[in-house]
Amino acid sequence: MKHAEHDEYAEASAQRELAEDGGIAEQGMEIVRRDGCVVIRGEVESEHRRDLIAQRVAAHFPHCEVRNDIVVVRVGRPMEAEELA
């Protein structure tokens, strides 16, 4: 894993790690760096996953504040059967 304070490719590197890591395999995360702060946005199924993603992203930006705006979305069985036309 590459760590660089001013690496212009750090966002892409962090996103690639999230997508390629078998324990995470998350492709829907948005990582944006502005004025020394990194913001992570997206949706996941659990608090544990949200925290794990934030830890991985923070490792790519050791000198930045990381703001975790990931939303936990509960996934459950549908209440009714879906009818297809």
Q: What is the pLDDT of residues 38-82, one digit of tens each?
A: 999 999 999 999 999 999 999 999 889 999 999 999 777 767 777
Number of H helices, E strands in the chain: 2, 3
From CA 22, how far away is CA 27, in angstroms rounded? 12
Amino acid residing at 22: G
Residue with tokens 């459950």: 76
Q: Is 57 helix (H, G, I), strand (E, B) or coil?
A: helix
Q: What does the DSSP 8-state code read for residue 81?
A: P
**Sign of the four-CA dihedral 45, 46, 47, 53:** negative
- Structure token pair of residue 2: 């590459």
The pTM (predicted TM-score) of the whole model is: 0.76
* 10-72 is classed CATH 2.60.40: no
